[in-house]
């Protein structure tokens, strides 16, 4: 049978395309997620991963639990395994997998610096609205129930958490889920010595340090921790006694709370 030259050319092109595409598995860390593409750092070098409508995205927990997720779960800092066709430095993903604990770790790592960027879809926006409402209610003294409380004290000018206070925070974090629809309020304070603006920044730094430690405990869902509040040197909050001295003024008050009018999960 004779085959025309155009037919030969088309066959050669298809064969060439098949040869150039290599089915691979790559493990790496997401650097950025823009549109339908991931920038991923692997041991073999950086690659661009294309996500298509046919890409399966799956979260694993333990040996047998697997849950399908959307592309919005693929956040910077997340360790993923990608199966797909590689073309040079690009890879078209058939399947992307990640572990639940790695996702929690990625959220905790980026919570302080990328909190606003993470709240881009409707579900996170609603959750943020609830957290803001409850956070303000706590500060304003509206009705809520305090289920557990820890006060973390700091050395002068420091935001370092002592080992004894870390133990108390771990105990609070472990117990918090037993309260059902809970949230965690974090209020940072400073003593009155020095510049007021600098003291407010220091009180926020202390509150952020406590927030990060709680988020990384492994017991608390990241969305349950409200944004830390800087109360500065003279700030007050309902039911929190004023400090009797500078040693007690340098503190972060952590509370596990539930609103009397229960917010939705």
Q: Are residues 200 and 235 in the same domain?
A: yes
Task: Supply the pLDDT for residue 223.
Answer: 77
Q: Are residues 159 and 197 in the same domain?
A: yes
Q: Which residue, 104, 119, 147, sits at the end of a domain? A: 104
Confidence check: pLDDT of 135 > 80 = no
Stated as kind and residue range, the H or E segment containing 40 is: strand 37-42
Stated as kind and residue range, the H or E segment containing 185 is: strand 183-189
β-bridge partners, 56: 95
Q: Are residues 98 and 184 in the same domain?
A: no
Give the whole-angstrom CA distance, residue 32 versus residue 55. Answer: 18
- Comparison of pLDDT for 145 and 137, the residue scoring more: 145
Classify residue 255 by burial, with Cβ atoms within 10 Å: 0-12, 13-18, 19+.
buried
β-bridge partners, 234: none
Q: Are residues 87 and 144 in the same domain?
A: no
What is the CATH number for 219?
A: 3.30.1330.60
* Domain limits for position 168: 128-258
The verdict on residue 117 lying in a domain is: no
Query: Torsion over CA of 37, 42, 45 and 46, rounded to 10 degrees?
Result: 20
Task: Supply the pLDDT for residue 64.
Answer: 78
What is the CATH number for 45?
A: 2.40.50.140
Give the whole-angstrom CA distance, residue 117 versus residue 113. Answer: 9
Going by pLDDT thresholds of 50, 70 and 90, the confidence category of residue 38 is very high
Three-class SS state of 198: helix
Confidence check: pLDDT of 263 > 70 = no
* Alpha helices (H) along the chain: 5-20, 100-118, 122-140, 163-175, 196-215, 246-249
Confidence check: pLDDT of 93 > 90 = yes
pLDDT in tens, 249-258: 889 999 998 8
Q: Are residues 48 and 169 in the same domain?
A: no
The verdict on residue 26 lying in a domain is: yes
Q: What is the mean pLDDT of residues 19-34?
A: 84
Confidence check: pLDDT of 106 > 50 = yes
The verdict on residue 211 lying in a domain is: yes
The verdict on residue 143 lying in a domain is: yes
Task: Supply the pLDDT for residue 120.
Answer: 47
Q: Are residues 63 and 183 in the same domain?
A: no
Three-class SS state of 69: coil
The verdict on residue 7 lying in a domain is: no
Q: Which residue, 104, 119, 140, sits at the end of a domain? A: 104
Q: Which residue, 104, 119, 153, sits at the end of a domain? A: 104
Q: How many structural domains is the chain composed of? A: 2
Work out the mean pLDDT of the chain and round it to a whole number.
79
Going by pLDDT thresholds of 50, 70 and 90, the confidence category of residue 157 is confident
Confidence check: pLDDT of 5 > 80 = no
pLDDT in tens, 193-225: 878 888 888 888 898 899 889 988 878 887 788
Q: Are residues 145 and 253 in the same domain?
A: yes
The verdict on residue 160 lying in a domain is: yes
Token pair belonging to 150? 């820890």
- Comparison of pLDDT for 124 and 197, the residue scoring more: 197
Q: Which of 90-104, 110-124, 193-207 has the lowest mean pLDDT?
A: 110-124
Whether the model clears a pTM of 0.85, i.e. scores above it, the answer is no
């Amino acid at each position: 049978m004779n085959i025309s030259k155009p037919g030969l050319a088309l066959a050669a092109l298809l064969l060439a395309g098949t040869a150039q595409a290599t089915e691979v598995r790559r493990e790496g860390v997401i650097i950025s997620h823009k549109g339908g593409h991931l920038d991923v750092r692997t041991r073999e070098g950086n690659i661009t991963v294309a996500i298509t409508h046919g890409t399966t995205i799956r979260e694993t927990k333990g040996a047998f639990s697997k849950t399908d997720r959307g592309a919005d779960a693929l956040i910077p800092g997340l360790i993923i395994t990608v199966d797909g066709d590689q073309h040079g430095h690009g890879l078209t993903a058939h399947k992307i997998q990640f572990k639940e604990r790695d996702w929690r770790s990625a959220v905790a790592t980026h919570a302080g610096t990328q909190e606003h960027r993470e709240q881009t879809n409707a579900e996170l926006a609603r959750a943020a609205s609830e957290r803001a409402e409850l956070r303000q209610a706590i500060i304003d003294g509206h009705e809520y129930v305090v289920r557990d409380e820890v006060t973390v004290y700091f050395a002068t000018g420091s935001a370092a958490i002592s080992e004894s206070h870390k133990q108390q925070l771990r105990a609070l974090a472990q117990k918090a889920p037993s309260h059902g629809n809970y949230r965690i309020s974090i209020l940072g304070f400073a003593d009155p010595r020095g510049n007021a603006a600098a003291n407010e920044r220091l009180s926020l730094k202390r509150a952020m340090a406590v927030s990060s430690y709680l988020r990384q405990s492994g017991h608390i869902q990241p969305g349950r921790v409200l944004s830390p509040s800087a109360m500065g040197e003279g700030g007050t909050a309902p039911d929190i006694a004023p400090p009797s001295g500078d040693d007690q003024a340098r503190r972060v008050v952590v509370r596990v709370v539930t609103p009397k009018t229960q917010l939705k999960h």
